[in-house]
Amino acid sequence: MSRSVLSTIRTPADVRALRPGQVGRLAAEIRAFLVDQVSRTGGHLGPNLGVVELTIAMHRVFESPRDTLVFDTGHQSYVHKLLTGRGDFSALRRREGLSGYPSRAESAHDVVENSHASTALSWADGIAKANELRGLADRHVVAVIGDGALTGGMAWEALNNIAASEDRRLVVVVNDNGRSYAPTIGGLAHHLDSLRTTQSYENVLSWGKRTLRRSGPPGRVAYDALHGLKKGIKDVVAPQGMFEDLGLKYIGPVDGHDEPAVERALSRAQAFGGPVIVHVITEKGRGYTPAEQDVADRFHAVGRIHPETGLPVAPSRFGWTGVFADEIVRIGRRRPDVVAITAAMLQPVGLAPFAEEFPDRVFDVGIAEQHAATSAAGMAFGGLHPVVAVYATFLNRAFDQVLMDVALHRAGVTFVLDRAGLTGDDGASHNGMWDMAMLAIVPGLRLAAPRDEPTLRAALREAVDVDDAPTVVRYPKSALVDPIPALEDVDGVDVLARAGADGARSVLVVGVGAMVPCALEVGALLAAHGLRVTVVDPRWVLPVPAALTKLVGEHDHAVTIEDGLVQGGIGAHVAQRALEQGVTTHVQAFGIPQEFLPHASRDQLVGSLRLTPEDVARDVLTALEGR
């Protein structure tokens, strides 16, 4: 049996050394490898199956790392990893295994680790400028950006600057598959659609030349006719004017699964010596039948699946996102003013049922969180109540808009933050750990962290009733816990447990959102050590409820536990509020340190951060011994 081509690849030089007949075999082997491996670990399967030939061609034309390859958003870099010697995918996205995104710690071939979309062109512009100033005129920068990421405003800011540099060696590869997480929307999508559904400029020009040769001897008439034909097909058949009007040379569209054609296009771009757009048409999920036949884009990112069928090994539970999806539809039925906004993530954030029932009341703005927030402020001014649903980590991109457009104007806008707190597997840029500390400085903003299904439904109903300030409802990626009933409500603060003997030193344990189960366990452990314990959940944690400050003052020691930054987080604000009210009780805050976390499971991160009930209880007892 002949040795596989993939097994011979250790560096990009091995890819460049392949004979043409071996390239097709390599592409097929890579696809088989990805389906086999990603079905075992989970990961971004569809995007990587779509860029196999494109990535091979890039490594055959350019010389990484001498030439810099930048991927936007980076989840399509699995093929790049294979071609740069990283063939062990057994622990993909697990602690100490390969990252699901480019990682400088893994390889000199990886440059940009940030997996937030629409940033690669700015990175490429900066690297190209640095190359120019350092006299490295023979080096190229290649940025791969999907049509979905091109809906982000930052990409167009970068293109505007790239176009001003006539001789910088920068190649922008537009990987056009008509999708991000979902079908790409907006004017750009319509423009690219007009390009991808026509014959290429070169094909029609070749047809024109053949026609003129058959029509008679060459001459001035034939020359004029050919010139007119070139102009006509440029304007009509390949309307790439949007890019050329910016001053960027355009090549394409090219079949992204015809590796020799992609190589030729990239070689032309390489030889040009200035900024070039190479428009490549690819098919997400290419070569894997379940992905090719899927219309809901379930294979963009998968958990463990059966490779033969594409079905999940463990069916997903009705989780936090499902509760939001159900409740927002209920709210929409009784509130015709409620509208929904998402940033190219209709399915992942749970807005698909709302869109199905109220198609005219859903706005997918593309990967444009800044626009989403300010557009929502405009809708609120116009008499609507917008609900902006995004992953928590992506709201970081729209902080200025939340502050200056929504909060400053006292706009009634609700932000629903999915995947808040520790998400784990996708690494530093996807942990939704920044939101509470970041949003705590926004005047008038109210933030709820529900602990279970009933409190999530209640928080959503309460949030959309606020029409004079921004509201935020955040919830985690982890599975729903069983409902946790309150013993009593103390002016909006839920008392969940009381334990311990009267007369003992008293401790108030405050659980925030997903950390409420941990708080309950901490309370039980402290009570077992002879302390009198009260466990509470404020539910609405920003601004700090007056009732919570009062409860802090009624105890000898207070503990807060949150899955957000501890610096500037809820615990810090509880302590500050208590200090302002003259409360002398010490507040001991537990949360996430101010650092970027490696990819690992949520449980592994919780353990390494000492946020387990046992670790928290032990640290509380140590603190009490010293007081």
Annotated active-site positions, please?
284, 369, 397
- What is the side-by-side order of every strand in the sheet holding 249-255? 68-72, 141-146, 170-176, 276-281, 249-255
In angstroms, the CA 108 to CA 126 distance is 18
In angstroms, the CA 222 to CA 239 distance is 24
Token pair of 123 as six digits: 């990175």
Which residue(s) pair with 471 in the sheet? 414, 446
Q: What is the DSSP letter of 3?
A: P
In angstroms, the CA 525 to CA 101 distance is 40
Angle at 448 between CA 446 and CA 449, to 5 degrees: 150
Asked whether residue 599 is marked as a ligand-binding residue, the answer is no
Asked whether residue 177 is marked as a ligand-binding residue, the answer is yes
Asked whether residue 149 is marked as a ligand-binding residue, the answer is yes
Helices (H) and strands (E) counted in the chain, each on its own, are 25, 18
For the four alpha carbons of 97, 98, 103 and 104, in that order, the dihedral sign comes to positive
Token pair of 413 as six digits: 């806008």
**Alpha helices (H) along 276-390:** 289-292, 320-334, 352-357, 369-381
Asked whether residue 147 is marked as a ligand-binding residue, the answer is yes
CB burial of residue 469 (10 Å; 0-12, 13-18, 19+): middle
Asked whether residue 115 is marked as a ligand-binding residue, the answer is yes
In angstroms, the CA 532 to CA 517 distance is 18
Angle at 209 between CA 208 and CA 210, to 5 degrees: 90
In angstroms, the CA 288 to CA 308 distance is 9
Asked whether residue 161 is marked as a ligand-binding residue, the answer is no
Token pair of 117 as six digits: 């979309």
In angstroms, the CA 219 to CA 209 distance is 13
- What is the side-by-side order of every strand in the sheet holding 586-592? 488-490, 493-499, 532-537, 506-511, 557-565, 586-592
In angstroms, the CA 471 to CA 446 distance is 5
Token pair of 221 as six digits: 């008439």
In angstroms, the CA 483 to CA 176 distance is 44
Asked whether residue 288 is marked as a ligand-binding residue, the answer is yes
Answer whether 533's CB lies under 8 Å from 506's CB.
yes
In angstroms, the CA 76 to CA 80 distance is 8
Amino acid at position 265, single letter:
A
In angstroms, the CA 402 to CA 395 distance is 9
Closest to 94 (Cα-Cα) out of 431, 598, 478, 593: 598
Closest to 189 (Cα-Cα) out of 199, 179, 198: 179
SS3 150: helix
Q: What is the DSSP letter of 480?
A: P
Asked whether residue 116 is marked as a ligand-binding residue, the answer is yes
Token pair of 330 as six digits: 């209920």
Which residue(s) pair with 598 in the sheet? none
Which positions make up the binding site for thiamine diphosphate? 75, 115-117, 148-149, 177, 288, 369
Which positions make up the binding site for Mg(2+)? 147, 177
